[in-house]
Amino acid sequence: MGTVEQTHQAPHVLVVILSIQGHINPMLQFSKRLFSKGIRVRLAITISVAKSMHTKICPNIISVDTFSDGYDNGIKKEDKIESYIERSKLVGSQTLGDLIKKQESLGNPITCVVYDSFYPWVLDVAKQFNLPVASFFTQSCAVCNIYYHVQQGLLKVPVAGPMVSIPGLPPLAIADLPSFVSVYESHPGIRTIMLNQFSNIDKADWLLFNTFDKLENEVVSWMSNLWPIKTVGPTVPSIYLDKRIEGDKDYGLDLFKPSNEICMNWLNMRETNSVIYVSFGSNVSLGEEQMKEIALALKEGNKYFLWVVRESEERKLPSDFAEETFEKGLVVQWCPQLEVLSHKAVACFITHCGWNSTLESLCLGIPMVGLPKWTDQTTNAKFVEDEWEVGLRIKVEENGIWRKEEIEACIREVTEGEKGKEMRKNCNRWKELAKEAVDEGGSSDKNIEDFIQSMLCTLR
Ligand code: UDP
Protein backbone atom coordinates (compact mmCIF):
# COMPACT_ATOMS: atom_id res chain seq x y z
CA MET A 1 0.00 0.00 0.00
CA GLY A 2 1.27 3.40 -0.87
CA THR A 3 1.42 6.74 0.82
CA VAL A 4 -1.59 9.03 0.64
CA GLU A 5 -0.71 12.17 -1.28
CA GLN A 6 -0.28 15.00 1.24
CA THR A 7 -2.70 17.45 -0.34
CA HIS A 8 -5.57 19.49 0.94
CA GLN A 9 -7.79 16.49 0.15
CA ALA A 10 -5.83 14.12 2.40
CA PRO A 11 -7.47 13.19 5.71
CA HIS A 12 -6.99 15.87 8.34
CA VAL A 13 -6.71 14.16 11.70
CA LEU A 14 -7.07 15.95 15.00
CA VAL A 15 -5.03 14.15 17.68
CA VAL A 16 -6.14 15.18 21.17
CA ILE A 17 -3.42 14.66 23.75
CA LEU A 18 -3.49 14.53 27.56
CA SER A 19 -1.06 16.66 29.59
CA ILE A 20 1.11 13.80 30.88
CA GLN A 21 4.53 12.86 29.47
CA GLY A 22 3.70 9.16 29.28
CA HIS A 23 0.62 9.95 27.17
CA ILE A 24 2.20 12.66 25.02
CA ASN A 25 5.05 10.43 23.81
CA PRO A 26 3.07 7.57 22.27
CA MET A 27 0.42 9.82 20.68
CA LEU A 28 3.00 12.16 19.22
CA GLN A 29 4.91 9.23 17.82
CA PHE A 30 1.77 7.74 16.32
CA SER A 31 1.07 11.15 14.74
CA LYS A 32 4.49 11.07 13.10
CA ARG A 33 3.71 7.63 11.68
CA LEU A 34 0.46 8.98 10.21
CA PHE A 35 2.27 11.99 8.79
CA SER A 36 4.91 9.75 7.21
CA LYS A 37 2.07 8.04 5.35
CA GLY A 38 0.67 11.27 3.91
CA ILE A 39 -1.93 12.14 6.54
CA ARG A 40 -2.27 15.74 7.68
CA VAL A 41 -2.06 15.78 11.45
CA ARG A 42 -3.14 18.54 13.80
CA LEU A 43 -2.23 18.07 17.45
CA ALA A 44 -4.49 19.49 20.12
CA ILE A 45 -2.45 20.03 23.27
CA THR A 46 -3.63 21.74 26.43
CA ILE A 47 -2.55 25.29 27.20
CA SER A 48 -0.68 24.00 30.26
CA VAL A 49 1.44 21.67 28.08
CA ALA A 50 2.18 24.49 25.65
CA LYS A 51 3.39 26.60 28.57
CA SER A 52 5.70 23.98 30.05
CA MET A 53 7.21 22.20 27.07
CA HIS A 54 10.97 22.43 26.55
CA THR A 55 11.13 21.41 22.91
CA LYS A 56 9.38 22.37 19.69
CA ILE A 57 7.17 19.64 18.29
CA CYS A 58 8.42 18.49 14.88
CA PRO A 59 8.31 21.95 13.34
CA ASN A 60 7.18 21.99 9.69
CA ILE A 61 5.44 18.65 9.71
CA ILE A 62 2.76 18.63 12.38
CA SER A 63 0.41 21.55 13.09
CA VAL A 64 -0.23 22.28 16.73
CA ASP A 65 -3.23 23.95 18.33
CA THR A 66 -4.00 24.50 21.97
CA PHE A 67 -7.24 24.03 23.84
CA SER A 68 -8.14 24.71 27.44
CA ASP A 69 -9.07 21.88 29.79
CA GLY A 70 -9.81 24.43 32.51
CA TYR A 71 -6.37 23.95 34.09
CA ASP A 72 -4.20 26.32 32.08
CA ASN A 73 -1.59 26.53 34.82
CA GLY A 74 -1.49 22.77 35.33
CA ILE A 75 -3.17 20.62 37.94
CA LYS A 76 -2.20 21.57 41.48
CA LYS A 77 -1.78 19.17 44.41
CA GLU A 78 -4.87 20.61 46.09
CA ASP A 79 -7.09 20.06 42.99
CA LYS A 80 -9.52 17.20 43.48
CA ILE A 81 -9.53 14.55 40.74
CA GLU A 82 -13.32 14.45 40.77
CA SER A 83 -13.38 18.21 40.02
CA TYR A 84 -10.76 17.71 37.32
CA ILE A 85 -12.92 15.07 35.62
CA GLU A 86 -15.94 17.41 35.62
CA ARG A 87 -14.16 20.61 34.71
CA SER A 88 -11.91 19.22 31.96
CA LYS A 89 -14.97 17.69 30.33
CA LEU A 90 -16.99 20.89 30.56
CA VAL A 91 -14.31 23.35 29.46
CA GLY A 92 -12.57 20.93 27.10
CA SER A 93 -15.78 20.06 25.20
CA GLN A 94 -16.35 23.75 24.55
CA THR A 95 -12.81 24.72 23.56
CA LEU A 96 -12.19 21.63 21.46
CA GLY A 97 -15.51 22.18 19.69
CA ASP A 98 -14.38 25.75 18.94
CA LEU A 99 -11.13 24.41 17.54
CA ILE A 100 -12.98 22.04 15.20
CA LYS A 101 -15.32 24.86 14.08
CA LYS A 102 -12.36 27.14 13.43
CA GLN A 103 -10.74 24.64 11.06
CA GLU A 104 -14.06 24.24 9.28
CA SER A 105 -14.39 28.02 8.84
CA LEU A 106 -10.83 28.19 7.47
CA GLY A 107 -11.81 25.70 4.77
CA ASN A 108 -9.57 23.07 6.32
CA PRO A 109 -12.08 20.79 8.05
CA ILE A 110 -11.07 18.07 10.46
CA THR A 111 -12.02 14.69 9.00
CA CYS A 112 -11.22 12.36 11.90
CA VAL A 113 -10.45 12.63 15.61
CA VAL A 114 -7.99 10.47 17.57
CA TYR A 115 -8.22 11.04 21.31
CA ASP A 116 -6.53 9.84 24.47
CA SER A 117 -8.83 7.25 26.04
CA PHE A 118 -8.55 9.08 29.40
CA TYR A 119 -10.66 11.86 27.77
CA PRO A 120 -13.85 9.95 26.85
CA TRP A 121 -15.78 13.20 26.39
CA VAL A 122 -13.79 13.91 23.21
CA LEU A 123 -15.63 11.01 21.58
CA ASP A 124 -18.93 12.78 22.23
CA VAL A 125 -17.58 16.07 20.84
CA ALA A 126 -16.42 14.31 17.67
CA LYS A 127 -19.80 12.63 17.25
CA GLN A 128 -21.59 15.99 17.61
CA PHE A 129 -19.64 17.02 14.51
CA ASN A 130 -20.37 13.67 12.82
CA LEU A 131 -16.70 12.85 12.69
CA PRO A 132 -15.25 9.35 12.74
CA VAL A 133 -13.28 8.83 15.92
CA ALA A 134 -10.54 6.58 17.30
CA SER A 135 -9.77 6.07 20.96
CA PHE A 136 -6.03 5.75 21.61
CA PHE A 137 -5.06 3.64 24.63
CA THR A 138 -1.64 4.40 26.11
CA GLN A 139 -1.62 1.41 28.46
CA SER A 140 -1.22 -2.27 27.64
CA CYS A 141 -4.12 -4.31 26.30
CA ALA A 142 -3.83 -6.53 29.37
CA VAL A 143 -4.33 -3.62 31.75
CA CYS A 144 -7.20 -2.19 29.70
CA ASN A 145 -8.90 -5.59 29.65
CA ILE A 146 -8.75 -5.70 33.46
CA TYR A 147 -10.33 -2.23 33.72
CA TYR A 148 -12.99 -3.26 31.20
CA HIS A 149 -13.89 -6.27 33.34
CA VAL A 150 -14.20 -4.08 36.43
CA GLN A 151 -16.23 -1.44 34.56
CA GLN A 152 -18.63 -4.12 33.32
CA GLY A 153 -18.95 -5.72 36.75
CA LEU A 154 -17.42 -8.93 35.34
CA LEU A 155 -14.62 -8.68 37.87
CA LYS A 156 -16.13 -7.94 41.26
CA VAL A 157 -14.34 -5.42 43.46
CA PRO A 158 -12.89 -5.46 46.05
CA VAL A 159 -11.36 -8.52 44.42
CA ALA A 160 -11.58 -11.83 46.23
CA GLY A 161 -8.24 -13.61 45.81
CA PRO A 162 -5.95 -15.21 45.88
CA MET A 163 -6.01 -15.60 42.08
CA VAL A 164 -8.09 -13.91 39.40
CA SER A 165 -9.07 -15.39 36.06
CA ILE A 166 -9.77 -12.99 33.18
CA PRO A 167 -10.19 -14.07 29.54
CA GLY A 168 -7.10 -13.49 27.41
CA LEU A 169 -4.82 -13.16 30.44
CA PRO A 170 -2.72 -15.57 32.48
CA PRO A 171 -3.92 -16.24 36.05
CA LEU A 172 -3.18 -13.11 38.07
CA ALA A 173 -2.55 -12.70 41.79
CA ILE A 174 -4.16 -9.70 43.46
CA ALA A 175 -0.78 -7.95 43.62
CA ASP A 176 -0.46 -8.29 39.83
CA LEU A 177 -3.58 -6.23 39.20
CA PRO A 178 -3.39 -2.45 38.65
CA SER A 179 -3.30 -0.74 42.06
CA PHE A 180 -6.64 1.00 41.52
CA VAL A 181 -8.21 -2.46 41.37
CA SER A 182 -6.09 -4.37 43.91
CA VAL A 183 -6.12 -1.64 46.57
CA TYR A 184 -9.71 -0.69 45.97
CA GLU A 185 -9.97 1.99 48.61
CA SER A 186 -7.06 3.94 47.09
CA HIS A 187 -7.53 6.80 44.62
CA PRO A 188 -11.22 6.42 43.72
CA GLY A 189 -11.02 9.50 41.47
CA ILE A 190 -8.25 8.08 39.30
CA ARG A 191 -10.03 4.73 39.19
CA THR A 192 -13.04 6.52 37.75
CA ILE A 193 -10.84 7.86 34.93
CA MET A 194 -9.59 4.33 34.22
CA LEU A 195 -13.08 2.84 34.12
CA ASN A 196 -14.59 5.76 32.19
CA GLN A 197 -12.37 4.86 29.23
CA PHE A 198 -15.03 2.27 28.48
CA SER A 199 -18.12 4.34 29.31
CA ASN A 200 -18.93 5.20 25.67
CA ILE A 201 -16.39 3.07 23.83
CA ASP A 202 -19.00 1.20 21.79
CA LYS A 203 -19.48 4.42 19.79
CA ALA A 204 -15.79 4.56 18.78
CA ASP A 205 -14.97 3.66 15.19
CA TRP A 206 -11.54 2.28 16.11
CA LEU A 207 -9.58 1.41 19.26
CA LEU A 208 -5.85 1.94 18.84
CA PHE A 209 -3.35 0.38 21.24
CA ASN A 210 0.31 1.13 21.83
CA THR A 211 1.35 -2.51 21.75
CA PHE A 212 1.99 -5.15 19.11
CA ASP A 213 0.18 -8.38 18.33
CA LYS A 214 2.94 -10.82 19.22
CA LEU A 215 3.56 -9.17 22.57
CA GLU A 216 -0.03 -9.47 23.76
CA ASN A 217 -1.34 -12.07 21.40
CA GLU A 218 -4.09 -13.70 23.45
CA VAL A 219 -5.59 -10.60 24.97
CA VAL A 220 -5.54 -8.78 21.62
CA SER A 221 -7.45 -11.69 20.04
CA TRP A 222 -9.94 -11.76 22.87
CA MET A 223 -10.60 -8.02 22.77
CA SER A 224 -10.87 -8.08 18.98
CA ASN A 225 -14.09 -10.03 19.41
CA LEU A 226 -15.60 -7.02 21.16
CA TRP A 227 -14.27 -4.02 19.25
CA PRO A 228 -12.46 -2.91 16.08
CA ILE A 229 -9.04 -3.06 17.73
CA LYS A 230 -5.81 -2.06 16.02
CA THR A 231 -2.41 -2.50 17.61
CA VAL A 232 -0.17 0.27 16.31
CA GLY A 233 2.93 0.05 18.50
CA PRO A 234 5.42 0.06 19.85
CA THR A 235 5.41 3.81 19.34
CA VAL A 236 9.16 4.12 19.79
CA PRO A 237 10.95 6.57 17.46
CA SER A 238 11.68 4.99 14.12
CA ILE A 239 15.49 5.16 14.33
CA TYR A 240 15.44 2.50 17.08
CA LEU A 241 13.30 0.09 15.09
CA ASP A 242 12.52 0.23 11.37
CA LYS A 243 14.47 3.44 10.54
CA ARG A 244 11.87 4.36 7.91
CA ILE A 245 11.08 7.86 9.20
CA GLU A 246 13.99 10.12 8.45
CA GLY A 247 15.41 12.02 11.41
CA ASP A 248 12.94 10.44 13.85
CA LYS A 249 15.20 9.90 16.85
CA ASP A 250 13.22 11.27 19.79
CA TYR A 251 9.64 11.95 20.78
CA GLY A 252 10.10 15.69 20.55
CA LEU A 253 8.12 17.15 23.45
CA ASP A 254 9.64 17.20 26.93
CA LEU A 255 7.76 18.54 29.93
CA PHE A 256 11.03 18.32 31.90
CA LYS A 257 14.34 19.80 30.81
CA PRO A 258 16.68 16.95 29.80
CA SER A 259 20.43 17.05 30.54
CA ASN A 260 21.39 15.52 27.21
CA GLU A 261 25.02 16.47 26.94
CA ILE A 262 25.90 15.76 30.54
CA CYS A 263 24.35 12.28 30.39
CA MET A 264 25.79 11.25 27.06
CA ASN A 265 29.29 12.56 27.80
CA TRP A 266 29.23 10.72 31.11
CA LEU A 267 28.03 7.48 29.48
CA ASN A 268 30.65 7.77 26.74
CA MET A 269 33.33 7.45 29.40
CA ARG A 270 31.94 4.13 30.69
CA GLU A 271 32.69 0.63 29.51
CA THR A 272 30.18 -1.67 27.85
CA ASN A 273 27.55 -3.03 30.27
CA SER A 274 28.94 -1.18 33.28
CA VAL A 275 26.03 1.18 34.11
CA ILE A 276 22.71 0.72 35.89
CA TYR A 277 20.13 3.21 34.63
CA VAL A 278 17.47 4.15 37.21
CA SER A 279 14.27 6.08 36.53
CA PHE A 280 10.76 6.21 37.92
CA GLY A 281 9.24 8.13 35.03
CA SER A 282 7.38 11.40 35.22
CA ASN A 283 4.95 10.79 38.08
CA VAL A 284 6.04 8.33 40.74
CA SER A 285 6.90 9.90 44.06
CA LEU A 286 8.92 7.91 46.62
CA GLY A 287 9.31 8.39 50.37
CA GLU A 288 12.59 9.37 51.99
CA GLU A 289 13.11 5.89 53.46
CA GLN A 290 12.66 4.36 50.01
CA MET A 291 15.05 6.81 48.38
CA LYS A 292 17.64 5.91 51.00
CA GLU A 293 17.35 2.17 50.28
CA ILE A 294 17.85 2.77 46.56
CA ALA A 295 20.70 5.19 47.22
CA LEU A 296 22.52 2.66 49.43
CA ALA A 297 22.06 -0.15 46.91
CA LEU A 298 23.58 2.02 44.17
CA LYS A 299 26.35 3.37 46.35
CA GLU A 300 27.48 -0.04 47.60
CA GLY A 301 26.99 -1.95 44.35
CA ASN A 302 29.83 -2.72 41.94
CA LYS A 303 28.37 -0.87 38.95
CA TYR A 304 28.20 2.73 37.84
CA PHE A 305 24.76 4.30 37.93
CA LEU A 306 22.80 7.01 36.17
CA TRP A 307 19.78 7.99 38.28
CA VAL A 308 16.98 10.31 37.19
CA VAL A 309 15.65 12.15 40.23
CA ARG A 310 13.10 14.75 39.22
CA GLU A 311 13.42 18.19 40.81
CA SER A 312 10.41 17.55 43.04
CA GLU A 313 12.10 14.39 44.42
CA GLU A 314 15.60 15.74 44.96
CA ARG A 315 15.13 16.85 48.55
CA LYS A 316 14.49 13.23 49.53
CA LEU A 317 17.98 12.08 48.53
CA PRO A 318 20.28 11.35 51.49
CA SER A 319 22.35 14.44 52.21
CA ASP A 320 25.82 14.37 50.60
CA PHE A 321 24.75 11.49 48.33
CA ALA A 322 25.94 13.24 45.17
CA GLU A 323 29.30 14.20 46.72
CA GLU A 324 29.87 10.74 48.19
CA THR A 325 29.16 8.95 44.92
CA PHE A 326 30.45 11.38 42.32
CA GLU A 327 33.04 8.90 41.09
CA LYS A 328 30.56 6.17 40.32
CA GLY A 329 27.28 7.88 39.73
CA LEU A 330 25.45 10.67 38.01
CA VAL A 331 22.13 12.07 39.22
CA VAL A 332 20.12 14.21 36.78
CA GLN A 333 16.61 15.66 36.82
CA TRP A 334 15.65 14.31 33.38
CA CYS A 335 17.56 12.49 30.65
CA PRO A 336 17.12 11.52 27.00
CA GLN A 337 15.89 8.06 28.03
CA LEU A 338 15.95 6.45 24.59
CA GLU A 339 19.52 7.56 23.92
CA VAL A 340 20.52 6.33 27.35
CA LEU A 341 18.88 2.92 26.96
CA SER A 342 20.48 2.45 23.56
CA HIS A 343 23.97 3.27 24.85
CA LYS A 344 26.32 0.28 25.02
CA ALA A 345 27.39 1.18 28.56
CA VAL A 346 23.91 0.47 29.97
CA ALA A 347 23.54 -3.03 31.42
CA CYS A 348 20.20 -2.89 33.17
CA PHE A 349 17.22 -0.61 33.76
CA ILE A 350 15.79 -0.16 37.26
CA THR A 351 12.33 1.00 36.30
CA HIS A 352 8.91 1.69 37.77
CA CYS A 353 7.53 -0.24 34.76
CA GLY A 354 5.52 2.59 33.25
CA TRP A 355 4.19 1.26 29.95
CA ASN A 356 6.43 3.46 27.77
CA SER A 357 9.54 2.66 29.77
CA THR A 358 8.73 -1.05 29.61
CA LEU A 359 8.25 -0.98 25.84
CA GLU A 360 11.35 1.16 25.34
CA SER A 361 13.52 -1.22 27.37
CA LEU A 362 12.13 -4.18 25.49
CA CYS A 363 12.70 -2.51 22.11
CA LEU A 364 16.24 -1.51 23.01
CA GLY A 365 17.16 -4.92 24.39
CA ILE A 366 17.83 -3.89 28.02
CA PRO A 367 16.75 -6.25 30.83
CA MET A 368 14.83 -4.69 33.69
CA VAL A 369 14.57 -4.72 37.45
CA GLY A 370 10.97 -3.73 38.06
CA LEU A 371 10.14 -1.58 41.09
CA PRO A 372 6.45 -0.95 40.40
CA LYS A 373 4.77 1.52 42.69
CA TRP A 374 1.15 1.91 41.58
CA THR A 375 -1.37 2.19 38.71
CA ASP A 376 -0.61 -0.19 35.77
CA GLN A 377 3.04 -0.64 36.79
CA THR A 378 2.33 -3.72 38.91
CA THR A 379 0.69 -5.54 36.01
CA ASN A 380 3.44 -4.52 33.60
CA ALA A 381 6.06 -5.83 36.06
CA LYS A 382 4.23 -9.16 36.25
CA PHE A 383 4.39 -9.50 32.46
CA VAL A 384 8.04 -8.38 32.35
CA GLU A 385 9.02 -11.14 34.76
CA ASP A 386 6.71 -14.03 33.99
CA GLU A 387 5.36 -13.63 30.46
CA TRP A 388 8.13 -11.96 28.47
CA GLU A 389 10.96 -13.01 30.81
CA VAL A 390 12.95 -9.84 30.29
CA GLY A 391 13.45 -8.80 33.89
CA LEU A 392 12.79 -9.38 37.57
CA ARG A 393 10.15 -7.88 39.77
CA ILE A 394 11.48 -6.91 43.15
CA LYS A 395 9.95 -8.36 46.34
CA VAL A 396 8.26 -5.76 48.46
CA GLU A 397 7.98 -5.68 52.25
CA GLU A 398 4.61 -5.54 54.02
CA ASN A 399 5.01 -1.81 54.49
CA GLY A 400 5.55 -1.36 50.75
CA ILE A 401 9.31 -0.73 50.96
CA TRP A 402 11.90 -2.33 48.65
CA ARG A 403 14.99 -3.03 50.71
CA LYS A 404 18.57 -2.38 49.64
CA GLU A 405 19.54 -6.09 49.87
CA GLU A 406 16.70 -7.07 47.56
CA ILE A 407 17.56 -4.33 45.05
CA GLU A 408 21.22 -5.40 45.09
CA ALA A 409 20.31 -9.08 44.63
CA CYS A 410 18.06 -8.29 41.64
CA ILE A 411 20.72 -6.12 40.00
CA ARG A 412 23.29 -8.89 40.46
CA GLU A 413 20.99 -11.53 39.01
CA VAL A 414 20.10 -9.43 35.99
CA THR A 415 23.63 -8.23 35.22
CA GLU A 416 25.74 -11.22 36.24
CA GLY A 417 23.51 -14.26 36.81
CA GLU A 418 22.46 -17.05 34.46
CA LYS A 419 18.89 -15.73 34.43
CA GLY A 420 20.24 -12.36 33.31
CA LYS A 421 21.85 -13.97 30.25
CA GLU A 422 18.53 -15.55 29.31
CA MET A 423 16.78 -12.22 29.81
CA ARG A 424 19.19 -10.51 27.45
CA LYS A 425 18.49 -13.16 24.81
CA ASN A 426 14.76 -12.74 25.33
CA CYS A 427 15.09 -8.96 25.10
CA ASN A 428 16.86 -9.30 21.78
CA ARG A 429 14.13 -11.59 20.51
CA TRP A 430 11.42 -9.09 21.52
CA LYS A 431 13.43 -6.29 19.99
CA GLU A 432 13.40 -8.13 16.65
CA LEU A 433 9.67 -8.82 16.91
CA ALA A 434 8.94 -5.18 17.77
CA LYS A 435 10.94 -4.08 14.75
CA GLU A 436 9.11 -6.58 12.55
CA ALA A 437 5.74 -5.25 13.79
CA VAL A 438 6.39 -1.64 12.74
CA ASP A 439 8.43 -2.42 9.63
CA GLU A 440 6.80 -2.39 6.21
CA GLY A 441 4.07 -5.03 6.09
CA GLY A 442 4.38 -5.87 9.81
CA SER A 443 1.25 -6.24 11.96
CA SER A 444 1.27 -2.68 13.36
CA ASP A 445 2.25 -1.17 10.03
CA LYS A 446 -0.62 -3.00 8.33
CA ASN A 447 -3.02 -1.87 11.05
CA ILE A 448 -2.02 1.76 10.53
CA GLU A 449 -2.50 1.34 6.77
CA ASP A 450 -5.93 -0.24 7.37
CA PHE A 451 -6.84 2.61 9.68
CA ILE A 452 -5.88 5.11 6.97
CA GLN A 453 -7.82 3.22 4.32
CA SER A 454 -10.96 3.12 6.44
CA MET A 455 -10.53 6.82 7.19
CA LEU A 456 -10.34 7.46 3.45
CA CYS A 457 -13.56 5.49 2.94
CA THR A 458 -15.36 7.83 5.37
CA LEU A 459 -14.28 10.78 3.16
CA ARG A 460 -15.77 9.35 -0.03
N1 UDP B 1 11.53 9.74 30.09
C2 UDP B 1 12.53 10.55 29.58
N3 UDP B 1 13.52 10.94 30.43
C4 UDP B 1 13.59 10.57 31.71
C5 UDP B 1 12.58 9.73 32.23
C6 UDP B 1 11.56 9.33 31.38
O7 UDP B 1 12.51 10.91 28.41
O8 UDP B 1 14.52 11.01 32.39
C9 UDP B 1 10.43 9.33 29.19
C10 UDP B 1 10.46 7.85 28.90
O11 UDP B 1 11.29 7.61 27.78
C12 UDP B 1 9.00 7.53 28.66
C13 UDP B 1 8.24 8.58 29.49
O14 UDP B 1 9.20 9.58 29.83
O15 UDP B 1 8.67 7.66 27.30
C16 UDP B 1 7.65 8.04 30.76
O17 UDP B 1 6.56 7.24 30.46
P18 UDP B 1 6.23 5.93 31.29
O19 UDP B 1 4.98 5.37 30.70
O20 UDP B 1 7.37 5.02 31.33
O21 UDP B 1 6.00 6.44 32.76
P22 UDP B 1 5.09 7.57 33.42
O23 UDP B 1 5.88 8.81 33.40
O24 UDP B 1 3.83 7.66 32.60
O25 UDP B 1 4.87 7.05 34.80
Ligand 1 centre distance from Cα of residue 357 (Å): 6
- Same domain assignment for residues 28 and 102: yes
- Residue 45 backbone dihedrals phi, psi, to 5 degrees: -110, 155
Confidence of residue 91 (pLDDT cuts 50, 70, 90): very high
Q: Kindly state if the Cβ of 361 falls inside 6 Å of ligand 1.
A: no
Give 220 Cα–ligand 1 centroid separation in angstroms: 24
Residue 202 resides in a domain: yes
Q: Mean of the per-residue pLDDT values for the chain?
A: 95
Q: Per-residue confidence at 62, pLDDT binned at 50, 70, 90?
A: confident
Nearest residue by C-alpha to atom 15 in ligand 1? 356
Q: Does residue 5 lie in a domain region? A: no
CA 237 to ligand 1 centroid distance, Å:
14
Give the number of other CB atoms < 10 A from CB of residue 187: 16
For residue 93, is it within any domain?
A: yes
Is the CB of residue 379 below 6 angstroms from any atom belonging to ligand 1?
A: no
For ligand 1, what atom is nearest to the CA of residue 25? 15
- Region 259-276: what's the mean pLDDT? 97
User: Is there a catalytic annotation at residue 116?
Assistant: yes
Within a domain: residue 296? Answer: yes
Protein residue with its CA nearest to atom 17 in ligand 1: 22
Task: For residue 4, tell me if it sits in a domain.
Answer: no
**Between residues 261 and 1, the one the model is more confident about:** 261
Is it the case that residue 2 has pLDDT exceeding 60?
Answer: no
Query: Quick one: 159 and 283 in the same domain?
Result: no
Distances (CA, A) of 350 to 7, 122, 263, 314, 427: 45, 36, 17, 18, 15
Q: Note the pTM of the prediction, 2 decimals.
A: 0.97
The answer to whether the CB of 88 is under 6 A from ligand 1 is no
Among candidate residues 69, 116, 176, 250, the one labeled active-site is 116
Residue 323's alpha-carbon distances to 315, 318, 319, 335, 411, in angstroms, are 15, 11, 9, 20, 23
Same domain, 212 and 93: yes
Pair (286, 225) in one structural domain = no
Same domain, 112 and 181: yes
Judgement on whether residues 168 and 270 belong to the same structural domain of the protein: no
Which ligand 1 atom sits closest to the C-alpha of 332?
8
Q: What atom of ligand 1 comes closest to residue 284's alpha carbon?
A: 25
Task: Give the Å distance between the CA of 21 and the centre of ligand 1.
Answer: 7
Nearest CA to ligand 1 atom 6: 281
Residue 426 domain flag: yes
Q: How far is the CA of 153 from the centre of ligand 1 (A)?
A: 32
Whether residues 339 and 391 share a domain: the answer is yes
For residue 257, the CA-to-ligand 1 centroid distance in Å is 13
Same domain, yes or no, for 336 and 239?
no
Q: Is the pLDDT of residue 232 over 70?
A: yes
DSSP 93: H
> Which of 23, 337, 350, 380, when mutated, tests ligand 1's pocket best, judged by the most ligand atoms within 8 Å of its CB?
337
Separation between Cα atoms, residue 163 and residue 174, nearest integer Å: 6
Q: What is the share, in percent, of the chain residues with pLDDT greater than 70?
A: 97
Report helix, strand or coil for 233: coil
Nearest CA to ligand 1 atom 13: 22
**Cα of 355 to ligand 1 centre, how many Å?**
9
Mutate to test the pocket of ligand 1, among 21, 118, 379 (most ligand atoms within 8 A of CB): 21
Rounded to the nearest 10 degrees, the angle between the axes of helix 141-151 and helix 188-196 is 100
The Å distance, Cα 284 to ligand 1 centre, comes to: 10
Whether the CB of 283 sits within 6 Å of ligand 1: yes
My answer on whether 291 and 349 are in the same domain is yes
Question: Both 430 and 309 in a single domain?
Answer: yes
> 1 in a domain, yes or no?
no
Q: Which of 12, 23, 149, 352 is catalytic?
A: 23
6-21 residue pLDDT tens: 666 789 999 999 999 9
12 catalytic, yes or no? no
pLDDT above 90 for 185: no
Please give the tally of structural domains in the chain.
2
Same domain, 148 and 221: yes
Cis peptide upstream of residue 234 (ω within 30 degrees of 0): yes
Q: Which helix (H) or strand (E) holds 459?
A: helix 443-459
Q: pLDDT-derived band of residue 1, with 50, 70 and 90 as boundaries?
A: very low
Same domain, 392 and 422: yes
CATH number, domain at 47? 3.40.50.2000
Q: What is residue 7's predicted lDDT score, i.e. its pLDDT? A: 64
Amino acid at 226: L
* pLDDT over 50 at 418, yes or no: yes
- CA dist 292 → 25, 270, 286 (Å): 30, 25, 10
49-63, 168-182, 321-335: the lowest-pLDDT one: 49-63
Comparing C-alpha atoms, which of 138, 142, 336 is closest to residue 234? 138
Mind listing the pLDDT tens digit for each residue in 361-413? Answer: 999 999 999 999 999 999 999 999 999 999 999 999 988 999 999 999 999 99
Ligand 1, residues 17, 260, 357: which to mutate, most atoms within 8 A of Cβ?
Answer: 357
Nearest to 334 by CA among 396, 272, 377, 278: 278
- Domain boundaries, position 182: 12-253+439-459
